[in-house]
């Protein structure tokens, strides 16, 4: 989650958005996150919910991929990897079956 300057500037919601973001890193929120089976980031919540999550070697975007700038260019810029995923038309199997049944 992040605070988008243009959005909070237009809507006048910077204080609320910042408080919401900061709350996510407090112990109370991290515990709620863990109880709902999302991996918490605080060491206290990780210890409390250790039985729910297998041990993993986690890595950051910087170490693994050189940061968000190259990742954004590779995956999310115009014509990049993500575009074909969004542009594919889904196959609608049920509709064809429904049409054939109505023709009877």
Do 8 and 27 have their domain in common?
Answer: yes
Do 15 and 39 have their domain in common?
Answer: yes
Do 5 and 47 have their domain in common?
Answer: yes
Tens of pLDDT, residues 26-55: 999 999 999 999 999 999 999 999 999 998
Structural domain including 8 reads 1-53
Do 90 and 104 have their domain in common?
Answer: yes
Do 49 and 8 have their domain in common?
Answer: yes
Do 2 and 49 have their domain in common?
Answer: yes
User: Is the pLDDT score of 84 beyond 90?
Assistant: no
Do 21 and 38 have their domain in common?
Answer: yes
Mean pLDDT to the nearest integer, 93-98: 56
- Is the CA virtual torsion 16, 8, 41, 52 positive or negative? positive
User: What's the whole-model pTM score?
Assistant: 0.57
Do 2 and 37 have their domain in common?
Answer: yes
**Dist CA 40 CA 46 (whole Å):** 6
**Dist CA 17 CA 12 (whole Å):** 10
Do 25 and 46 have their domain in common?
Answer: yes
Give the total number of structural domains in the chain. 2
């Amino acid at each position: 989650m992040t605070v988008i300057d243009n959005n909070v500037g237009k809507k006048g919601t910077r204080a609320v958005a910042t408080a919401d973001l900061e709350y996510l890193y407090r112990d109370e929120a991290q515990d709620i996150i863990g109880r709902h089976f999302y991996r918490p980031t605080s060491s206290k919540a990780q210890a409390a919910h250790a039985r729910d999550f297998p041990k993993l070697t986690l890595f950051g975007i910087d170490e693994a991929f050189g940061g968000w700038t190259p990742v954004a260019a590779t995956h999310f810029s115009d014509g990049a990897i993500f575009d074909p995923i969004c542009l594919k038309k889904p196959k609608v199997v049920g509709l064809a079956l429904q049409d054939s049944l109505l023709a009877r």
